[in-house]
Structures are given as structure tokens and as C-alpha cells.
Amino acid sequence: MIDLCLLNCKIVGNNEYSIGINNGKIISIKRNTIQAEKTIDIKGKIVLPGLIDAHVHMRDPGFTYKEDFSSGTAAAAAGGFTTVLDMPNTKPQTNTVKTFKNKIRIGENKCLVDFGLHAGADNPEQIKKLAPLKPSSFKIFMDLFDDNFLMNIFNILSNLEKINDNKTVISLHAEDKEIVNQYTNIMKSKNSDPIAYVNARPALAEEVAVSKAIEIAKKLDLNIHICHVSTKKSLNLIKKAKLDGYNITSEVTPHHLFLDSSYFEKFGTFTKTNPPLRTKLSKINIMDIYKTDIIGTDHAPHTITEKEKNIWDAPPGIPGLETILPLLLTEINRGNFTFNEILRLLCKNPAHIFNIKNKGFIQEGMDADFVIVDMKKEGIINPEKFHSKAHYSPFDGFKVKGMPIMTILRGNIVMDQGKILEDHGKYVYC
């Protein structure tokens, strides 16, 4: 007999089905009951594939006082995510074979959901050696390096792609270093009000970096992924390059989507993130969502004490794993969003862009990763209840309708009505 049957599952675009699961995989999807050791009646609630967050900062190792793989993946499970891809800016950075292997080991010990790792690409002599470890992508912070250094890295990466079977993906934090430095110095010298941060890293810095990235995509035939696109103009530039046939994709975050720079007045430095929240006029909004490829939360936790510093010293970053799904389900309830967009932006596309096999779809043969949602459940976002160590959010107090109620990882329940159950996450590129 098989391990598990999920009975009466409402699958988006279809009727109610039973899902049969054995050894952590979906083995059958049928209209009638499937005999199994254990049966869970989903009672007609909507069952989505487990969400994939391609952009998280788990802070492990080195900054585990902010977050670690246990607390960060508990937050993921609570938010409906069964896979997270971790960024390399830990201590040490994930930019050598040694630190990369070490982070896989830490992740396999502590993660409650599956995980992949982005590799830092700022260590030229390590890039070729890192490739066989299958990083989700090579990540570059364009705001930290000048053009010559970046060009050298892009060249190394493009040569790598030619000798490697798997496509190489480059994730870019697209803000231009020179513009950021110039404007930050000006704003720092005259203003300490949190809102000054918006102009310290202006939209121009992002749009210039995005234009440079597009030129690279045109020249070098690399798969370029632009993280946290914050302005309409950047998104349109990327969309156009994509329509012109270049290999470029984009990500938007929940905070850039739902919030604008006026939130600096309400939440001060807790709103600080890079790139900063934009004005109502320049920002992306929910109507632009069809132009982008994925939603990544850029879950970037810090401590309250750190976030309480002045605007120039407080670190940038907002935790996002536990808020995005309720926010999007609320928009669906309001008629502004669809389940198909959740499937595209948080399941299918992240799996495709970052080469994650066996995830992102409810199909026979796929991993049995699911999130079950209750579209009638209402609540108020309360950061004190987060499983993340970062108990703050600019979405604090938002009313939501629609919440994840159960998360299943390879056939095992990892979250049930907000309660986290221990499991062992695996490195997704084994």
C-alpha cells in the first residue's frame, strides 16, 4: 500500500482530486479515493505546489543571531514554502568550494524544507571550481564592484557556460556602484531623516545597472536574472530585452510591489532595504505583475537593535517569508490577482529558471510538496508571531483574508495550522 492519500484536493483550474503519494513523490492523481496507509481529508480546500523562494538570506553561518537555517526554514514552512534558495552574503561568504560545501552541510543538518544555494561570483579563481557543486546561480552585487571587475567576472562566467552542460545563471543585484556612492554621499551630508534613503539610492542607479546588464545579456549570451526590480522603467527595459529574444529574467519582491516610499514615515528604518522603496509614481505595482518572471521575497532578516540605528547605519532588509502568501491570497479575494499567477511566479518559473527538477508542479513523478490554503481564514499580520528571528515588518497590522494552513514537504507535514513539525530538508541539486 502507498504512504499517503490527500483526499478532496481542489487543484487550480480543475475539480477535486485525490493525490497519492509514495516515498515522497506524487504517484497518482485521481478523481476517486486512493488506498493508502494514511489519508488526510483536505475537504475541498485549494492545494498548490509547495512555493519556491529563489531569494532568501538565511544568515547561516556567521550571522545566526539574525536568522539561521532552522528559524529561517521554519518561517518558510509557515509561509507555504517548501524550497528556498539562499544568498551567498554570509560569513564566510559562499564564494569558495570550501565554504559552499560547508554551507550544504549546515543546511542539511538544520533545514526543515529543501534548499539550494547561490554562489558568490566575486572570487574569480573559484568560479570554475564552484560550478560542479551546482549553485542555483552565481550572484553578483553590482553596487559593490566597478565595471572592469564586473566585466571580467561576466567573461569568466560566459566561458564557463560553454564548457558546462547545465546552463549557468547569473543573479544580479542591479544598482550602479558609482551612482549609489555619489548620491549617498550627497544625502548623508545633508539629511538624517529616513526618507533621505530613497534619494541616496535613486531609481537611476537601478535603471543604469539594468541597462548595463541587458548589454551583457546581448553580448555574452548568458542567462541573466535581475533580482528585486523596483521601478516600472527597469521592468519595462527587461521585458523588452526579453521580447527581443535575450536570455534575461526578472524578480519582484512583495515590499516593492505593495509598498511605496511613504512607508518610511510610518516604519522608519524598518522599511530600509536595497534597492529602496520607490515613490508611488515610479514603483511597480500589482498591475505590472504579468511583466515579471518570479516573485522572490528577498527575506533579509536583521535584529530590532540593528534596525533601530539611524538611517545610514541600520542594515537594509525586510523579512518576507511569512507574509507574501497571505498578501497575495488577499489580492485574489479582492479580485486583483489569480492562482495561476501564484503558480507561475512562485512555483513553475523559479523551478525552471534555477534548474530545480521535480518541483514546482502537481504532476505524477514530482516531489510531493504542497501548500494548502484556506481562502476564508482572516488575520492581521503580526511580526511578534513570526517563526523568523526577525520580529518586524512594514506589513505589520495589514488585514489579510486567505492563509496557508498546511505545508507538506515530500509527503511529510512540516506546518499544520501554524504549528511547525520538524523534518529534514535536502539540498535540491543532489
Instruction: Supply the residues annotated as catalytic.
Output: 298
The window from 7-15, 151-159, 170-178, 265-273 that contacts Zn ion (CB under 5 A) reads 170-178
317 binds, among Zn ion, ligand DOR, none (CB under 5 to 8 A by kind): ligand DOR
Q: Which of residues 149-178 bind ligand DOR (CB under 6 A)?
A: 173
Under the binding rule (CB under 5 A), the answer on residue 173 touching Zn ion is: yes
The alpha carbon of 180 is separated from its chain's Cα centroid by a whole number of angstroms, namely 24
Between CA 61 and CA 107 the distance in angstroms is 10
Between CA 266 and CA 339 the distance in angstroms is 31
Radius of gyration of the chain (CA): 21
At its nearest, how many Å lie between ligand DOR and the CB of residue 337?
Answer: 24
Binding mask 86-105 for ligand DOR (x = CB under 6 A): ---x----------------
124 binds, among ligand DOR, Zn ion, none (CB under 5 to 8 A by kind): none
Under the binding rule (CB under 6 A), the answer on residue 49 touching ligand DOR is: no
Whether residue 92 is preceded by a cis peptide bond, meaning omega within 30 degrees of 0, is yes
List strand residue ranges (DSSP E) for 239-337, in order. 248-252, 294-295
Cβ nearer to ligand DOR, comparing 274 with 412: 274
Binding mask 293-322 for Zn ion (x = CB under 5 A): -----x------------------------
Cβ nearer to ligand DOR, comparing 45 with 389: 389
Closest C-alpha among 311, 231, 215, 329 to residue 271: 311
Instruction: Check: CB of residue 48 under 8 Å from CB of residue 12.
Output: yes
Between CA 423 and CA 108 the distance in angstroms is 10
Which spans in 80-195 are helix H?
97-110, 127-130, 147-163, 177-190
Cβ nearer to ligand DOR, comparing 140 with 400: 140
273 binds, among Zn ion, ligand DOR, none (CB under 5 to 8 A by kind): ligand DOR
Report how many residues bind Zn ion under the rule CB under 5 A: 2
Instruction: Check: CB of residue 50 under 8 Å from CB of residue 412.
Output: no
At its nearest, how many Å lie between ligand DOR and the CB of residue 355?
Answer: 23
Closest C-alpha among 402, 183, 148, 201 to residue 316: 201
Under the binding rule (CB under 6 A), the answer on residue 273 touching ligand DOR is: yes
Cβ nearer to Zn ion, comparing 173 with 389: 173
Under the binding rule (CB under 6 A), the answer on residue 239 touching ligand DOR is: no
At its nearest, how many Å lie between ligand DOR and the CB of residue 274?
Answer: 4
Say how many CA atoms lie within 13 Å of 375 toward its Cβ: 16
Helices 69-79 and 97-110, packing angle to 10 deg = 60
By CB under 5 A, name the binding residues for Zn ion.
173, 298
By CB under 6 A, name the binding residues for ligand DOR.
57, 89, 173, 273-274, 300, 315-317
